A and B are shown apart, each in its own frame.
Chain A
Amino acid sequence: MGKTSREAAAEPQPSAPLGLRHRRTPTPSAYALGYRSHAASRLGLTPSACALGYFLAPLRGYNCSTMRIRKFFVISLLFLSGPAVLLLFSQLNGNLAPLRQVRDRFPVFADVAVDPESNIVAVTDENLFSLRTYDRDLATNDVADPRTVVTGNRTRVDFVCGVALDPVHKEIYTVNNDTAADMLVFKYDASGNVPASRTLRPAPVSTWGVAVDLKNDEVGVTVQQVNKVMIYRRLAEGEEKPLRVIQGPDTALADPHGIFIDAENNEIFVANHDSYHLAETSQEESTDVQGQLARGIATISVPQERFQPRASSGKFVEPSITVFSRTAQNNASPVRVVRGPKTELSLPMKVFVDTVHNEIFVANSGSNSILVFSRTASGDVAPIRKIEGAATKLKKPVGLFVDVKNDEVWATSPEEHSAVVFRRTAQGNAAPLRIVRGAPDGTPAPGIGNPGGIAYDPMREQILVPN
């Protein structure tokens, strides 16, 4: 169950996971560290040991006078002294090869979006930093064969999270999350290491969700770190200012993730986690420094005003779905909030509104499920149905999309390297109709995403990595 030929052609090989990560030709010193000559390795000698042996053997009384051995050492010296010197040189400069590395060699699907008219599904891959499209109706249990793979440093696709499709203009929208938080727009047929058609910089860091509103020609994004929703012109680029911003203590936004703009009913839906703090303007200035460092700005500019420690506003809140008027701005209160123990909301990621059947779908990562509510649900209400259980293959779902035309609902399971498809009306422990796999079934996932810290537990001899 390997990759298909198209997949293999489109993707870098596992030994060079991105292609872009090893764009440079390895140096001779790299080869010197990694390889020994066949002859030397048969004797268990490193190149430097061979060279030293030639010079030192007579001094130590060894008989190196036979032509055969002499010839071997001469050849060894000629062919291996260069790498040996480079080996020593590289050691002196710390160009050390890792003894071990823990890394996922496969794409990890975060968000998903579908265009049923064009028969494509788009997924973001936050592990290998790629944006992929597949045939919507692909039915195989093997690793799926992508139509396109957008990846590489020219694309600026980074730690991507949200994805949305514009079926009219045939464009894919995606946002980088915790690095250079750009919103990138690509044409459907873009593939390879190609620049985006448009790039917008909504925030220095931590954009997560993206939604396109074709009726009003707008696009919306969420910004995790400062609890904000920003609405732009659909064609906004560069440093363009948003049309509207929703942010403030009355908004109930808390570590916002997924966003959906319901243009039919003039509402915006946002999925919120449980971490809250009151974001101040000064914090946005401070996070801008993070953004400058991520982009590699030569001279970092910082706010001149010194920031004195002040009372913390952090607290834990219940996860929620907040619903705003589509034209809400500033410190607007939501018109409805779905929140409370009956809702079973737990680390809700993507939220999607089916305006035909008047239902809200939520990728509920914390309970390995998809929750469905009435579109007008408010308060502490139970879901009207759930997709959950071992047969669903849902594991910490993040992305979600409802394809009304084909009566299907999609969700991603990052730890399974997969996107799964159910009937829109599925409930309970339902098996998926199809699975789009980014890795062979059963491939383990290290699950390391945009890591910053690492610790070692010497008692258990274990390594700890937070996301």
Chain B
Amino acid sequence: MANPRIAIFARLANGNVAPTRVIEGPHTRLSRTSHAIVFDEKNDEIVVPNPLAEAILVYRGNASGDAAPIRTIQGPRTLLQENDELALDNVHDEIIVPTRQAILVFSRTANGNVAPLRIIAGPKTKMFRARGIAVDPVNNIIAMGNANPQGILIFNRTDQGDVAPRSIITGPRTGIYATKGFAVLPDRKELIATVEARGVQVSRNVGESFVGIWNYTDNGDVAPKAMIKGETSMLIAPRGAALDLKHQEIFVIDKVQNSFFTYSWQKILQTMQR
């Protein structure tokens, strides 16, 4: 829908249903291009990017209606540009924001025109145009989808400056054309990535794209150890992914289907190949 908003649904929502709550309106400062979102359970906050205004917006966890952000990171010192994605580390209180060829790390409580705490940027990083990002504050990694080379770059969480990724998952066996959404499983040291198959936005073929799971230690041309993939999955162009470990479910949003799907996480675990 063309209207900028955050729609909030009950966990068990199913079918042609309206959201239970919506954050929308001129005071929200949302634009209709917020392609990432993080919920901060520890601080009960919602964090989204607004790349058209080069801003990061933070709302209360229970925000509703035309609610203004409680904090906004925006201004020349922020260096924000093309900030479509973000990740949150609520252990070290940091917001991680990839831009075109850099990863900017802000204090979680930053507000206004503030400079990043750290920047990962430079030719060694191999970064070009982030396609999703996640941080694991326990095992200290940042995983970022990359448009060129097409794959997943994994950095140390505290990396700074022009550093090479500690590993790159890329190659034909990975099945990666374009990633978009990421989630991490610190206990299992696993990374979940949504992977869009080549040309599906045009062909709209069901079942070619997938959700893949890799180990943190994977490097190079490594196939995912498990997938949600196939016509039964109904996925065409999966984007974001989020986990509910209490109920053993994974939520995947699909850009072409304009919908989100809930899958059994337990069933995915049963398909682990390694």
Contact status of A462 and B258, CB under 8 A, knowing A33-B232, A286-B129: no
**Which of A56-64, A70-78, A449-457 forms part of the interface with chain B?**
A449-457
B251 at the interface (CB under 8 A from A): yes
Specify which of B12, B100, B246, B253 is in contact with A100 (CB 8 Å cutoff). B12
Contact status of A153 and B202, CB under 8 A, knowing A315-B74, A460-B61, A461-B11: yes
Of the four ranges (under 10, 10 to 19, 20 to 34, 35 or more), the interface on chain B belongs to 35 or more
Complex contact A102–B206 (CB within 8 A): no
Interface flags for B177-208 (1: CB within 8 Å of A; 0: not) read: 11011000000000000001011111111110
Report A-chain residues with C-beta under 8 Å of the C-beta of B10.
Answer: 461-463
- Quote the shortest CB–CB distance from B163 to chain A (angstroms): 15
Complex contact B199–A296 (CB within 8 A): yes
Within 8 A of B (CB), among A281-308: 283, 286-287, 289-290, 293-296, 298, 300, 302, 306-308
Interface size on A, residues (CB 8 A): 111
Contact status of A95 and B34, CB under 8 A, knowing A18-B204, A102-B13: no
Known: A307-B101, A460-B61. 13 other contacts (CB 8 A): A24-B207, A96-B233, A96-B263, A102-B13, A104-B16, A161-B2, A178-B33, A275-B52, A312-B79, A366-B25, A448-B259, A456-B11, A461-B11
- Quote the shortest CB–CB distance from A251 to chain B (angstroms): 15
**Which of B42-50, B136-144, B214-222 forms part of the interface with chain A?**
B42-50
Report B-chain residues with C-beta under 8 Å of the C-beta of A103.
Answer: 15-16, 257-259
Complex contact B33–A224 (CB within 8 A): yes
Complex contact A396–B11 (CB within 8 A): no
B93 at the interface (CB under 8 A from A): no
- Quote the shortest CB–CB distance from B169 to chain A (angstroms): 17
Complex contact A459–B41 (CB within 8 A): yes
Specify which of A96, A106, A293, A398 is in contact with B267 (CB 8 Å cutoff). A96
Contact status of A451 and B76, CB under 8 A, knowing A274-B26, A346-B26, A467-B3: no
- Quote the shortest CB–CB distance from A324 to chain B (angstroms): 20
Within 8 A of B (CB), among A19-70: 20-24, 26-27, 29-30, 33-34
Complex contact A449–B258 (CB within 8 A): yes
Complex contact A100–B261 (CB within 8 A): yes
Contact status of A466 and B271, CB under 8 A, knowing A97-B233, A99-B263, A276-B53: no
CB-defined A-B contacts under 8 Å, sample of 18: A21-B257, A94-B211, A95-B207, A96-B268, A97-B234, A102-B260, A293-B147, A293-B196, A296-B200, A308-B121, A309-B104, A447-B19, A452-B180, A454-B260, A456-B39, A459-B41, A461-B10, A463-B242
B8 at the interface (CB under 8 A from A): yes
Complex contact A451–B262 (CB within 8 A): no
Report B-chain residues with C-beta under 8 Å of the C-beta of A444.
Answer: 16-18
B229 at the interface (CB under 8 A from A): yes
Q: Give Cα A466–Cα B56 distance, bound, in whole angstroms.
A: 14
Chain A residues with CB under 8 Å of chain B are 18, 20-24, 26-27, 29-30, 33-34, 90-106, 108, 110, 126-127, 129, 153, 156, 158, 161, 177-180, 206, 208, 224-225, 255, 257, 273-277, 283, 286-287, 289-290, 293-296, 298, 300, 302, 306-316, 319, 346-347, 349, 365-366, 396, 398, 414-415, 443-467
Complex contact B198–A454 (CB within 8 A): no
Complex contact B80–A312 (CB within 8 A): yes
Complex contact A309–B81 (CB within 8 A): yes
Contact status of A453 and B36, CB under 8 A, knowing A277-B81, A443-B16, A464-B46: yes
Report B-chain residues with C-beta under 8 Å of the C-beta of A177.
Answer: 2
Contact status of A452 and B36, CB under 8 A, knowing A102-B9, A103-B259: yes
Report B-chain residues with C-beta under 8 Å of the C-beta of A461.
Answer: 10-11, 244
Q: Give Cα A217–Cα B270 distance, bound, in whole angstroms.
A: 61
- Quote the shortest CB–CB distance from A316 to chain B (angstroms): 6
Complex contact A445–B18 (CB within 8 A): yes
Report B-chain residues with C-beta under 8 Å of the C-beta of A100.
Answer: 12-14, 261-262
Complex contact B44–A459 (CB within 8 A): yes
Q: Interface SS of chain A: helix, strand, loop or mixed?
A: loop
Complex contact A454–B242 (CB within 8 A): yes
Q: Give Cα A177–Cα B35 distance, bound, in whole angstroms.
A: 14
Residue of B nearest to A177 (CB): B2
Report B-chain residues with C-beta under 8 Å of the C-beta of A224.
Answer: 33, 52
Report A-chain residues with C-beta under 8 Å of the C-beta of B147.
Answer: 289-290, 293, 300, 302
Complex contact A20–B76 (CB within 8 A): no
- Quote the shortest CB–CB distance from A70 to chain B (angstroms): 32
Complex contact A451–B11 (CB within 8 A): no
